[in-house]
Amino acid sequence: MKFHDDKSLYTGVHAKGGPTTVDEIHPSASFGQSPSGLADQEEEKKAAPTKTKSKQEAVPTGEPAANLEELFSRFTLGQPDMDSRTLVKVAKDCKIIGKKVTTTDCDLVFSKVKAKGSQRINYNQFEKAIEEFANKQKTSFEDLTAKICAIGGPTYTGTKAEAVKYHDDKSLYTGVHGKGGPSTTGDGAISDIS
């Protein structure tokens, strides 16, 4: 095992001691870039103003939106535009979908108001979509806007697991778990709980 035992024959990373968990490659680093180049990039990033948009957190269901723009922002989580799926969610959550407006109508309205070649709509196009929904429902834009702003934002639903007798009732636990479960000691061995 000449190459394994003689460390003077090691090459690459292993010649310098091998990889460590402390070493870190900067995400913007490219191969062959000097560490001083990375430091310069870090300084440039600190000096440049950041234009990041923070995502808006979900507002509790039931709190009315002040206006249509706020409702749009709640559904898009602060993004400047929305896709067709989000428009359908707006229509479902705000109870626009019914006998006069279907999910197919939502897709057709989305296609009508979006820019050619685009897959997303901005706030102004969203307003036009709400106008289209008002026309289909034979109601005024203001009435429909008031109705959907009263909803306040997206509703999130999930499934709740059914009760599981042997999991939920700790008095039915057996073996090690019946006595509180295993605990580890400093050497990684399971301690005796009997």
Q: Which helix (H) or strand (E) is 81 found in, with range?
A: strand 81-82
Residue ranges of domains in the chain: 69-151
Count of Cβ atoms closer than 10 Å to residue 72 Cβ: 22
The reported pLDDT for the residue numbered 52 is 42
Residue (of 97, 95, 94) closest to 75 by Cα position: 94
Contact 190, 181 (CB under 8 A): no
Assigned CATH topology for domain 69-151: Recoverin; domain 1 (1.10.238)
- Collapsing DSSP states into helix, strand and coil, what is residue 82? strand
Q: CA triplet 86, 91, 93: central angle to 5 degrees?
A: 90
The reported pLDDT for the residue numbered 51 is 44
Alpha carbons 150 and 96: distance in angstroms, whole number: 13
Contact 93, 151 (CB under 8 A): yes
Parts of the chain with a pLDDT under 70? 1-3, 20-62, 183-194
The reported pLDDT for the residue numbered 143 is 93
Amino acid identity for residue 9 in this structure: L
Output the CA torsion sign for 136, 137, 138, 143. negative
Alpha carbons 87 and 96: distance in angstroms, whole number: 11
Contact 148, 90 (CB under 8 A): yes
CA distances from 163 to 82, 166, 167 (A): 38, 9, 8
Residue with tokens 């490659």: 25
